[in-house]
């Protein structure tokens, strides 16, 4: 129990402190790359997640009962899950203000957003959920992860000190939804794809503000039509494996 507490404290310290430094100092950093505004699109997401990703990678190896893995026991299907939204964005294209062809930009920003989400999911589902499930029941775990997830964004110290309290129930609900998929598929890639899809449709402004609602609906329908049977297949495979 002592080693578990040390791991949790280490994870929280590294991930929260790293994101705090970024979210409170990013404007200072951006002034040095002001002549390359496209970099801001990528660094805005990738830098705060680095601390979370590194901490989770290191601490996962210290945890003896990991059930989650990158692929979840299947070497092919999770890559299809990850590829679908990227392919749809590439075909559809994403308008932008930095003179990149919309289809190429759709591929770049779609790949970036999914990669960012996968790195983040290494922390929330790949490490933290695994660690906490050994101590608390899943409902308590989902609430705790949602609260830590909220703190990690530091809303109350950025963007005019707007705490965005509505994000607390949203992130708790997301922790429940993605957490259940994590338990059934055991795949960090699939969790990252789910997380990334939400960012694409609702949160990540570079995409969400530059494609129409109709395009979002088409993206969602195509993605779910392909995803649902694949996820169900992986769930059945993991259920059968657990019964052996």
Torsion of CA 141, 146, 147, 149, to 10 degrees: 120
- The reported pLDDT for the residue numbered 238 is 81
Q: How far apart are CA 99 and CA 42, in angstroms?
A: 16
Residue among 90, 86, 74 nearest 184 (CA):
74
- The reported pLDDT for the residue numbered 244 is 54
pLDDT above 70 for 71: yes
Q: Which distant-in-sequence residues (6+ apart) come within 8 Å of 8 by Cβ?
A: 131, 132
- The reported pLDDT for the residue numbered 34 is 59
Percent of the chain with pLDDT over 90: 59
- Express each pLDDT in 216-233 by its tens digit: 999 999 999 999 999 999
- Express each pLDDT in 167-194 by its tens digit: 999 999 999 999 999 999 999 999 999 9
Helix pair 213-243, 167-185: axis angle to 10 deg: 40
- Express each pLDDT in 92-150 by its tens digit: 999 987 788 999 999 988 998 999 999 999 999 999 999 999 789 999 999 999 999 99
Q: Are 51 and 72 in contact (CB under 8 A)?
A: no
| C-alpha dihedral sign at 88, 124, 71, 221 | negative
The domain limits of the chain are: 2-243
- Express each pLDDT in 12-66 by its tens digit: 999 999 999 888 877 776 666 555 555 566 666 677 899 999 999 888 877 667 7
Q: Are 73 and 238 in contact (CB under 8 A)?
A: yes
Coil/strand/helix, residue 13:
helix
- The reported pLDDT for the residue numbered 242 is 64
- Express each pLDDT in 79-92 by its tens digit: 999 999 999 999 99
């Amino acid at each position: 129990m002592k080693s578990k507490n040390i791991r949790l404290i280490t994870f929280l310290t590294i991930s929260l402190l790293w994101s705090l430094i970024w979210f409170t100092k990013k404007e200072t950093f951006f002034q040095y790359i002001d002549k390359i505004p496209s970099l801001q699109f990528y660094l805005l997401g990738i830098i705060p997640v680095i601390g979370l990703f590194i901490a989770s990678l290191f601490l996962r190896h210290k945890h003896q009962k990991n059930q989650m893995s990158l692929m979840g026991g299947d070497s092919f299907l999770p890559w299809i899950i990850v590829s679908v939204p990227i392919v749809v964005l590439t075909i559809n294209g994403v308008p932008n203000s930095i003179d990149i062809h919309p289809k190429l930009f759709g591929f770049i920003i779609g790949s970036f957003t999914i990669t960012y989400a996968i790195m983040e999911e290494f922390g929330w589902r790949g490490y933290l959920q695994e660690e906490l499930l050994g101590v608390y029941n899943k409902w308590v775990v989902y609430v705790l992860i949602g609260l830590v997830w909220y703190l990690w964004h530091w809303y109350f110290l950025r963007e005019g000190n707007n705490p965005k309290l509505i994000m607390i129930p949203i992130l708790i609900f997301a922790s429940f939804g993605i957490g259940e998929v994590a338990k059934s598929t055991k795949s960090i890639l699939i969790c990252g794809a789910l997380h990334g899809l939400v960012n694409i449709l609702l949160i990540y402004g570079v995409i969400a503000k530059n494609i129409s609602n109709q395009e979002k609906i088409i993206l969602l329908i195509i993605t779910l039509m392909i995803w649902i049977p694949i996820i169900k297949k992986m769930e059945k495979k993991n259920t059968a494996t657990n019964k052996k």
